Amino acid sequence: MTISPARSPPCAPPPATPSPPDASPDAGVDIDAGSLADAASEPDASQPDHPCAVADLVINEIQTGGSSGTDEFIELRNRCAGAVELTGARLVYRSANASGASDTTTLAILGGTLAAGGYLVAAGGGFAGNAQVRPLASGLSASAGAVGLRDSAGALVDSVGWGATSNPLVEGTAAAAPPAGRSIARSADSADSNQNAADFTVDPSPSAGAAN
């Protein structure tokens, strides 16, 4: 009997070597070069888009009297995203029909800085709340008058008149005169359309140093 030599099993083909992944940075991702450029150029929203200055402040709320004639205050708000240097800025007052070139009086000369979104309260001697500036150099008429904010160069930044007032500090039509213990205040976002009667309403709960 003839014995045939055993056959070796066929060699299995070597396992396929997987192709290396595509190492290019845009593999599988559709990248719009234009979008990347736009994103890179977007400003940081946490930073102001201009140097913050006194011009970014508004007169935000005014109380002309309360428990006494000097229970009064003027509140400023910084609407800028950065601090504002106040040195040399001043609050001024005009009586109802003071139409001349000069303000009736300077109520307070300001200094220091006001933080982004912050409030500054300038108050009369009879005001019981917290105030950064006191007392005012003179009182505010409860029935009619106007207050202005001027920068260090004397330029008028913002102003508010109330009651039967007709002078250069009134923006548009004067706001209503607030009763004792109440204030005239802007909306919560401190909007300013340069129309006192539209921007200010009588507030039964004055909130000096806080949002209206």
181: left (phi over 0), alpha (psi -120 to 50) or beta: left
pLDDT digits (tens, 9 = 90+) for 76-87: 999 999 999 999
- The angle at the Cα of 113, spanning 111 to 114, to the nearest 5 degrees, equals 115
pLDDT at 42 over 70: no
How far are the Cα atoms of 20, 109, 201 from residue 158, in angstroms, in the given order? 67, 15, 17
Mean pLDDT is lowest, of 41-55, 111-125, 176-190, for 41-55
C-alpha dihedral, 154 to 53 to 94 to 182, nearest 10°: -170
pTM: 0.78
Under a CB-based contact definition with an 8 Å cutoff, are residues 192 and 78 in contact?
no
C-alpha dihedral, 20 to 23 to 24 to 27, nearest 10°: 70
Average pLDDT over residues 90-115: 97
Which is more confidently placed, 139 or 9?
139
How far is the C-alpha of 1 from the C-alpha of 32, rounded, in Å? 79
CA 133 to chain centre: 20
pLDDT digits (tens, 9 = 90+) for 103-157: 999 999 999 999 999 999 999 999 999 999 999 999 999 999 999 999 999 999 9
How far are the Cα atoms of 105, 141, 146, 154, 207 from residue 92, in angstroms, in the given order? 6, 13, 8, 10, 22
Q: How large is the C-alpha radius of gyration of the chain?
A: 34
